[in-house]
Structure 1
Amino acid sequence: MVKTTEEIAAEIERGAATLGIEFGSTRIKAQLNDENNAPVAVGAFEWENSFEQGYWTYGEQEIFEGLAACFASLKADVARRYRVDLRRLAALGISAMMHGYLALGSDGEPLVPFRTWRNTTTTVAARELTRVFGFHIPERWSVAHLYQAILDEEPHVAQVDHLTTLAGFVHERLCGRRVLSIGDASGMFPIDSSTRSYDASMADRFDALEPVRALGVRIIDLLPEVMIAGQVAGHLTAHGAELLDASGDLEIACPMCPPEGDAGTGMIATNSVAPRTGNVSAGTSIFSMVVLEQPLKNPMLDEIDIVTTPVGDPVAMVHCNNCTSDINAWMGLFESYNDLMGISMDSPELYETLFRAALDGDADAGGLMSMPFISGEPIMGVSTGCPLLTRGERARLTIQNFMRMHIMAAFGALKIGNDALRRERVAIDRLYAHGGIFKTPIVAQRLLAAAMAAPVSLLETAGEGGAWGAAIAAAYMLRGAATSSLSEYLSDHVFKGMRSVTVEAVPEDVLGYDAFIDLFRRVNAIACQADDIWADEAGHAHVEGVEGQ
C-alpha cells in the first residue's frame, strides 16, 4: 500500500518511524523507515579514510561530527518532504564497517586511532592464530590486530580495557551499553554456533599464548557482550541524543537494537539470512556472504572467513579489500579528458555509457589485465596498494575491452575466493547483489553472474543498502521478534511481493571469465613484486614526512 505524504508525516510526528544509520567507507547514511519498513527519508555525510602513521583510519572527531551532520541532513529531508520535525523515533539501529581495531581505555577513549578493515599489517599474528586455533583468522579481525600489537610490544596494549568495532563504539556512546550483534562480533573473535557466543576453547588457547600470558589479560574480558537480532540492546540516553541532534529536539529513551556490521545489515537488506541464500555487497570493498547448511569441511581455507548471520547461523564470507576504487579513478581520468576536450557529459551518463560498452567487449577482455589493488589484498597475497594495468602484445586494446577488463577485475579476487567455496560443494539457491556498481542495468550484474557461475538477482531496493537494513533490524526488535524468526519477518513483512531482476550466467561469459582469471592469477605475481617496491616507497615517504598513499 502506497501511503500519502500526510500519512507518513503523521507516523513521523507520533514517533512510529524507525531509523538506521550506517558508517560506510565513503559515506555515513541515515535511513528513516515507516511502519511498513518502506524508506521515507534519507540523510548522508560524505567522508574518506586517511592514511596516518602507517594505518588507514577515521578520527574520533570525524566519526561524531559525521554522525551529527548525517542526522541533520536527515532532519532537513524530513522537513522538506513532510513539513514536520523529526523529534521522536520508534527504534534505532547502528551499523558500520566490520573488523578492524578499536582499543579503548578505562575512560572509554581510544588508546590509538581506529585501525580499519583496510589495514593489512597483521600477517604474522593472523597466521599464528590460524595455526593455534585450527581456524582461519583473517588479517582484518580484531583479535589479529590485538595480537599483532602485543607481538610488536606497542605501549598502549597494557592499558586496553576493552575492544569494540566502529558500530559498537558509536552504539556505546549513544546508549551506554557495551554490546555487539553476533554478526559483528564474529569479525572480532570466532563464534561457537552452539552457544551463540565467543568460542571458549579458542579463547583459552589465546590466553595461553606466552605473549598474552605475560600481559595477564583474558580475551573474553576485553570483548563486548554478544547479542542477537531481536533483543533490546539499550535505550538512547540524553548524551546520545545530543550527539545525534545538536539542536536538542530529539527525545530520549527510544530502544536500540544490537549494533551490527555492514555484512549483517547487507544480509538483512537482501533477504539473505536463511541457509542456501547469499548476497554480494560491492563498494570500496566487496564481499559475498553465503549462509551455510552445515560447517565447512575445511575451516582453514585462506580465502574464506567464517562469520555469522545476525541471529548466529554460520556464514561463509569471502571478503576482498578492493572493488570500485580503481574504476572510479579511471572515470575521473575520463572526466578530465572530457573537460579538456570541451565535451559536456555528467558523471552518471559517463558511467552508464562506458559500462554499457563493456558488454560489447571480448568474453575474456581481449588479453587486457588490471590488478585493481588500491590497498592490500590478502586473498591475492598483496600487502600494499599498487594498481597495475598490463596487456600482452596481441591484446585487443579497445574501449569495450578496457571497460570489461575493469569490471571483471573488480570481481576478480571475489571469484577466486568463491571458486574455493564451490570446491567445498556449498549450495546456493539464490544470490542477491547490491551496491553502486550495479546502477547501470544488467552490465555488472551479468559479469558478476559469470564470475559466480550462478544467477544474480537485484531487488528493487538494491540501492538502499545497510542503513535500510539497520532500520529493519530495529523494526524487527520492536515489532517482530516476539512472534517470528528474522527470516520469517523479512519474508512476510519486508520483501513479500517485492520485484527483482535476475540475470543468468551466460556460458560464453563464464568461459571467458575463467580464462581471464587464469591470467589474473599469473599477472598477480607482478603485483606482488611491485608490492615490495611500493612498500619501500611508502616507507621513504613516511620517513620524509610525506603521505605515502
Structure 2
Amino acid sequence: MQTEPTTALDALRDGTTSLGIELGSTRIKAVLVDDDGTPIASGNAAWENELRDGFWTYSLDAVHEGLQRAYASLADDCERQWGARPQRIGAIGVSGMMHGYLAFDADGSLLVPFRTWRNATTARAAELLTAELGVRMPLRWSASHLLQAVLDDEEHVGRLAAITTLAGYVHRLLGGAPVLGPDDASGMFPLAPSGTEYDAELLAAFDALAARHGAEGLRIADLLPQVRTAGDDAGSLSDAGARLLDATGALQAGAALCPPEGDAGTGMVATGALAPGTGNVSVGTSIFAMIVLDAVPTGEPLDADIVATPGGKPSAMVHCDNGTAELGAWAGLFGQFAAAAGVTLAPDEVFAAMLGGSAGGSVDELVAYGFISGEHAIHLPQGRPLVARRAGADLTLAGFAKAQLLGAFGALRLGMQQLTDTGVRLDELVAHGGVFRTPGAAQPLLAATLDTPVRVTPSAGEGGAWGMALLARYRLDRIRGDERALEDWLLDRGGIDPGTVEQPDARLVEECAAYHERWQAALPLARLAPDVLA
C-alpha cells in the first residue's frame, strides 16, 4: 500500500507517526509509520560485535552512536521524501537482540561489558538451572549468565542492582520505565502461564540454587525488569532521550513509549504470526523460529525455548546461533571478484547473482557449515566455517550457494523436527530476513527443508523494526481507547501485505532430506575444526 504524500506530511506535522527501532546483530534499523502502520521513512546504521576478553560484546558507546546514526538516516529520508524532518512523534518502541546480560549497579553504571546472546560460556549454569527448575534454560538467557557469574565468583555479583536486555537498556535511555515486553522478558527468565509475570516458584528455586553456590543474599526478582504486555504504558520520551536520538535537537520529548521487545516478538508482529499453529522464521546472523502454541506441552522439557508473544501467549522458540553470516562473507568475496573484473555490483545484485539459480543446483557431493561461532543447538562450543566436497566432484555456483543455504538451515531443521515429533501443531511459517529479498532462492529451500508451507511478504527484508513501529502504533491507539487484542488490531493495518506462499516441492523435500543426512554425518569435521584451526 502506498501512502499519499499529504497523509505522510500530515502525520509528520501533526506528530502522529510511530517509530520503531531495532538493534540487530549487524544493523540498527529505524522505521517511521503513519496512522495506518504503513512505513513512510526508514534509516539504518551498520555496526559489528567484537570479541573482548573471551566475550562477544558491543560497547555502550557503540549503542549510543549507532542510535544517533540510524535516527539521522531516518530523518534524512523524511526530508528527501516529504521535505520535512520529524519534530514530534506519537509513540516509540525499541527492540533488540534477545537474551544476553547487561548488569548495572545502584548508580546505573555498567559492571561488566555487555554479554550478547552469542556467548556460549554459560554451559554449567544452564545445565544446573535446567535440572533445578525443571524447564529448559538456554545458555544465552540472562538467568544463565547471572548464575554463571555466581559460579565463577565474579566480583561484580555483590554490587548488582539491575540486569536487563539490550532493548531494555535503550528503552531506559529514552526515558522509559524499567520494564520489558513478554517476549524479551521470557528470554531473561521463565514466565508464569499467564505470560504477564515471572514464575514465582522458579524465582525462589533460582535464589536457592544461587545461595548454595555462595550468593546467599541474591534475589533475582529484585534485579529483573517488570513485565508489560503489548499496548501497556511504558513511560514517555524524556528530554535526554530526545537529544540522544536526535543530535540536532529538533526532536521534542513526550512521545509515548511502548514496552521494549525482543527481535523474535517484532518478527511475530511484522508477519502477523500471532495465532496458535502459526509461526515465523527470522534468518540473519542467527536463525530462530517462533511457533505459537495451543498450550505449553507437559512432560519432558522440549528441546526448544518456551517464550511468549508480545501479548503473552506461549510460544516455542528454536534458536540457532549461526545463520547466513558466512553466506554474506562469500557474497562479499564475490563482490570483490566482480570489482576486480571491472564490474560494480550493489550487495543485493551480488546476492541475486549468487543465489538466483541455487534451487536447481546439485549438492550431492558437497556440504557446508557456516559456524562463525559455537552452536548450542548441536552442542558445538566453537565454530569454524567449512566447505567440503568429494574429490573430483563438480563445483558450481548454484550448488555452492545451495549448500550454503541448506547448511544454514541444518540446526534449525533438527530443532523443528523435535517440536513436530512432540505433537506441536504448525500450519504455516512466515519467513523474514534479507536473504529472502532474492526471489525463488531461500523460500523454496526452507519450505522443503522443514516440509512446511513458507510465506514471504514484501517486508521480509526489514520486518523487525517495522514490527516494533506497529507495536508503538498499537500503544498510541490504546491511549486513544482502542482495547482490541493485538492480533485483532493488526487485521486492520493496511501496511501488511499477505505476500506469497511456497508449498514444499516433493522433489526438493527428498533432496534436502538427503543433504541433511550427509550434513549430520559429516558434523565431526565441524567439531574437529576448532582444534586444528585454533
TM-score band, normalised by shorter chain: over 0.9
Could you report, residue by residue, the CA deviation over 1:435-463 in whole angstroms, capped at 9, with x for unpaired residues?
11111102100000011101111112222
- Which segment drifts farther, 144-153 or 291-300? 291-300
Give the alignment partner of residue 409 of structure 2, picking from 411, 420, 425: 411
Deviation at 1:395, TM superposition (A): 4.2
Q: For the Cα contact (< 8 Å) 1:98–1:263, is it kept in 2?
A: yes
SS of residue in 2 equivalent to 1:248: coil
Aligned to 1:249: 250
Look up the match of 1:233.
234
Aligned twin of 2:521: 522
Q: CA separation in 2, counterparts of 1:195 and 1:165?
A: 18
SS of the residue 1:214 aligns to: coil
1:217 is aligned to 218
Q: 2:507 is aligned with what amino acid?
A: E
Q: Which residue of 1 aligns with 2:120?
A: 120
Deviations 1:2-48 (A, max 9, x none): 44213311210110101111101111111000001000011111111
Contact 1:158 1:215 in 2 (8 A): no
Unaligned runs of 5+ in 1: 538-549
State how far apart, in whole Å, the 2-side matches of 1:456 and 1:297 are: 28
Contact 1:20/1:468 (8 A) holds in 2: yes
CA deviation after TM superposition for structure 1 residue 329, in Å: 1.4
Q: CA contact under 8 A between 1:358 and 1:400: conserved in structure 2?
A: yes
User: Are the counterparts in 2 of residues 292 and 315 from structure 1 also a CA contact under 8 Å?
Assistant: yes
Please give the residue correspondences for 1:360-371 in structure 2 after superposition, counting only pairs within 5 Å: 360-362=360-362, 365-371=363-369
Q: TM-score, normalised by structure 2?
A: 0.96
Structure 1 position 87, deviation (Å): 0.5
* Deviation per residue, 1:94-117 (Å, 9 max, x gap): 110000010111111210110111
Structure-1 residue corresponding to 2:13: 13
TM-superposition CA deviations, 1:475-505 (whole Å, max 9, x none): 1111157331111011223467x34111111
RMSD over equivalenced CA pairs, Å: 1.6
Is 1:383–1:531's contact at 8 Å kept on the other side of the alignment?
Answer: no
Deviation (angstroms), 1:294: 1.5
1:469 counterpart letter in structure 2: G
Per-residue deviation at 1:394?
Answer: 6.5
Report the Cα distance in structure 1 between the residues aligned to 2:74 and 2:176, rounded to whole angstroms.
Answer: 24
In structure 1, distance between residues paired with 2:345 and 2:50 = 30
Is 2:399 the partner of 1:398? Answer: no
CA distance in 1, matches of 2:344, 2:180: 48
Secondary structure of the structure 1 residue equivalent to 2:402? helix
Q: Provide the secondary structure at the position in 1 that maps to 2:40.
A: strand
Q: 1:194 to 1:344 in 2, by over 3 A?
A: closer
SS of equivalent residue, structure 1 residue 7: helix
Q: Is the 8 A contact 2:448 2:512 kept in 1?
A: yes
Is the 1:382–1:531 Cα contact (8 Å) retained in structure 2?
no
Tell me if structure 2 keeps the 8 A contact 1:151–1:211. Answer: no
In 2, Cα distance between the equivalents of 1:359 and 1:195?
40
Amino acid at match of 2:466: W
Identity %: 44
Task: Check the 8 A contact 1:367/1:394 in 2, yes or no.
Answer: no
2:85 corresponds in structure 1 to 85
Contact 2:38 2:495 in 1 (8 A): no
How many residue pairs end up in the alignment? 531
The amino acid that maps onto 1:456 is: V
SS in 2 for 1:139: coil
Letter in 2 for 1:387: P
C-alpha spacing 1:208/1:72, structure 2 compared with 1 (3 Å)? same
- Per the alignment, do residues 76 and 313 of structure 1 end up closer, same or farther by CA in structure 2, a change over 3 Å counting? same
Cα deviation, residue 67, structure 1: 0.8
Report how far residue 380 of structure 1 moved. Answer: 1.4
Report SS of the residue matched to 1:41.
Answer: strand
Summarize deviations over 1:287-344 as a string: whole Å, max 9, x none.
1100000212445233x11110001111111111111111111122222333344455
Residue 507 of structure 1 pairs with residue 517 of structure 2 = no
Shift of 1:74: 1.3
Pairs within 5 Å for 1:19-418? 19-194=19-194, 196-209=196-209, 210-211=211-212, 214-298=215-299, 300-302=301-303, 304-362=304-362, 365-393=363-391, 395-418=393-416
Helix, strand or coil: the match of 1:373? Answer: coil
**1: CA distance, partners of 2:331 / 2:495:** 34
- Deviation of residue 508 (structure 1)? 1.1
| 1:431-446 alignment, distance < 5 Å | 431-446=429-444
- Structure 1 residue 400, shift from structure 2 partner: 2.2
In 2, the alpha carbon distance for the partners of 1:520 and 1:440 equals: 24
1:349 deviation in Å? 2.4
CA drift at 1:517: 1.2
Distance in 2 separating the partners of 1:400 and 1:17: 44
- C-alpha distance in 2, partners of 1:471/1:516? 39
| 8 Å CA contact retained: 2:176, 2:234 | no
Structure 1 window deviating more from structure 2 (66-75 vs 472-481): it is 472-481
Compared CA separation, residues 339 and 459, structure 1 to 2 (3 A) = closer
Q: Does 1:462 align with 2:463?
A: no
Following superposition, the deviation at residue 516 of structure 1 comes to 1.1
Q: Any idea what the Cα deviations from partners look like across 1:485-537, whole Å, max 9, x if unmatched?
A: 111011223467x3411111111111111111111112112211223444xx3
* Change in CA separation of 1:282 and 1:7 when aligned onto 2, cut-off 3 Å: same
In 2, the alpha carbon distance for the partners of 1:3 and 1:390 equals 49
